[in-house]
Amino acid sequence: MNRATLSLAAAVTALAAVTGFAALTTPAADSGTVAAAKAPTRLPVERSSLLCPAPSNSEVAETVYTSFTPAGGARGAGTGEAAGRAELKPSAATSDATTADPGKANTPKKAPAADKPVLTLTQPGRPVSAEADGGDAPALVGAASGRLAPGWTTQQTTKVPAGGGRGMLGVSCTAPDTDFWFPGASTVAQRADYVHLTNPDDTATVVDIELFGPGGALKSQVTDGVTVPARSDVPVLLSTLTADPAAEDVTVHVTTRSGRVGAVVRSADEKLGSDWLAASADPAGSLVLPGIPADATSVRLVAYAPGEDDAELSIRLAGPTGTITPAAAESLHVKSGMTAAVDLQDVTRGEAGSLLLTPLRKGRATPVVAALRVVRGKGDDQEVAFIPATGPVGERATVADNRAKGTTLSLTAPAEGAEVKVTASAGTEGGTPATTTYKIKSGTTLAVTPPVPAGLKGSYALTVETVSGGPVHAARTLAEPDDGLPMFTVQTLADDRGTVEVPVAGQDLSVLDD
């Protein structure tokens, strides 16, 4: 969903307007010959943006922010202005939008926070962290430049030991965008699901939120959209957006009329606890949902087909030794414009795995979005997390805030075998980086305890790089039991898009000749 390529095209167009004409070709050997265009060059990005939602409204919440940029991301840049800086600052204000009431949606619940960074990163290769306690911690708006921009990531981990929102909530802070899909939300009374909208820009933006249940679109009570003030965070309770009967399984579609936002859903279940639901990968005919814990006691798949055609999906589980068809469900029919769900029960049966969704019939690929709701524990001691469909790690992907205990890395090779290099960074308070290489067989999931930095103090970051073979999908599980409650959270890893294609452009003034 990165718009870097589009922005680059706009920049090239603007350059052409300034210089008269520009041609994406090398200079000709003579005035009568035009040489073939050179292939685009991949260069590190020079600026990255991240948005972290307001973590919790619980007075007993404990939040840790961890920010990190992989070493070597800028390929040698590191002196002068290229050294860069990465900062996360409080948003100007956080709304008290507990309902869809437009009047309440834009009312700050506290005075604007001081323009003082909560977190500042000054060098790649070593993470930094900060803490915030209570329910008044604001959303954060951040930017990284120079050598700190390529691959910059920030993890927000919150622990709420008691109350309606109890649980371990983790989210990788998101880049601003204009279009998000969230299958796996709900409007039932047992759930309190809020979509958090964070505007990083200096002008207000209007956001449209659509809800789709098992019967199709839910009638909206907010026809004028939700206004998100400049550099502010607005949480909106999903159940107040519609007067239609409550639905257990809902897909949320967030789009902006202008500008851009960060969007993520915070879900709280009275019985199962709470966690963040991140956006699904863009609609596609085949999807991978990696990192189902080995001890999952309940797994529920939710999918939505945004196009005009129904989708027939084959459901397979990639485990440690190969791919199988779950006994609970072999396939899922998703009607166009409707949300479909299936309970896969304890599909992993003691072995970590990943779900693979592919077209049931060859040549009949219909784009869908999907997510999993995963539960660990039993009875009163249950905890929930969400796993959205995610793209491959590609060249490189990173996740921050890993601990010496309770961290599991899941690596899935859905199509063909692959090899990846996993680097554990130095710790936030000390430690020496460590690197391990893993081989993943085709159609399997490898769940490992990742390397831990020697002499680790604090938390550390994990960077996964594809060495060879086919695409690899990854997820990190962070588990921290609390008084018998199996608290955990799962974050997927996707390509950090730390580089961008830059076309070779040169002036061709011959077009001005008569």
Asked whether residue 222 carries a pLDDT value surpassing 70, the answer given is: yes
> What is the per-residue pLDDT for 164?
77
> What is the per-residue pLDDT for 165?
85
> What is the per-residue pLDDT for 331?
96
Q: Where are the beta strands (DSSP E) in 270-309?
A: 273-277, 287-292, 296-304
**Which amino acid is present at 57?**
N
Residue among 67, 167, 181 at smallest CA distance from 490: 167
User: Residues 73-79: what's their mean pLDDT?
Assistant: 43
> What is the per-residue pLDDT for 508?
59
* Residue pLDDT, tens place only, 187-209: 999 999 999 999 999 999 999 99
The ranges assigned to domains in the chain are 4-42+501-512, 46-277, 287-497
Give me 173's structure tokens.
């802070």
* Residue pLDDT, tens place only, 248-300: 999 999 999 999 999 999 999 999 999 999 999 999 999 999 999 999 999 99
- 311 — pLDDT class (breaks 50, 70, 90): very high
User: Residues 22-45: what's their mean pLDDT?
Assistant: 55
Lowest pLDDT segment from 65-74, 147-156, 305-314, 358-367:
65-74
- 101 — pLDDT class (breaks 50, 70, 90): very low
- CA 301, CA 289: separation in Å to the nearest integer? 10
Considering only CA atoms, give the Rg of the chain. Answer: 23
* Residue pLDDT, tens place only, 442-496: 999 999 999 999 999 999 999 999 999 999 999 999 999 998 899 999 999 999 9
Give me 329's structure tokens.
């469900």
User: Residues 202-218: what's their mean pLDDT?
Assistant: 97
- CA 352, CA 487: separation in Å to the nearest integer? 17
Give me 389's structure tokens.
């469909």
Q: What is the largest CA-CA distance in the chain?
A: 83
Q: Which CATH class is domain 287-497?
A: mainly beta
> What is the per-residue pLDDT for 26?
34
- The architecture that CATH gives domain 46-277 is Sandwich (2.60)
- Whose tokens are 């019967």? That residue is 215
Are 46-277 and 287-497 in the same CATH fold?
yes
- CA 332, CA 315: separation in Å to the nearest integer? 7
Asked whether residue 78 carries a pLDDT value surpassing 80, the answer given is: no
Asked whether residue 47 carries a pLDDT value surpassing 50, the answer given is: yes
Which residues are CB-neighbours of 391 under 8 A, at least 6 positions away? 281, 473, 494, 495
- Whose tokens are 């999931």? That residue is 445
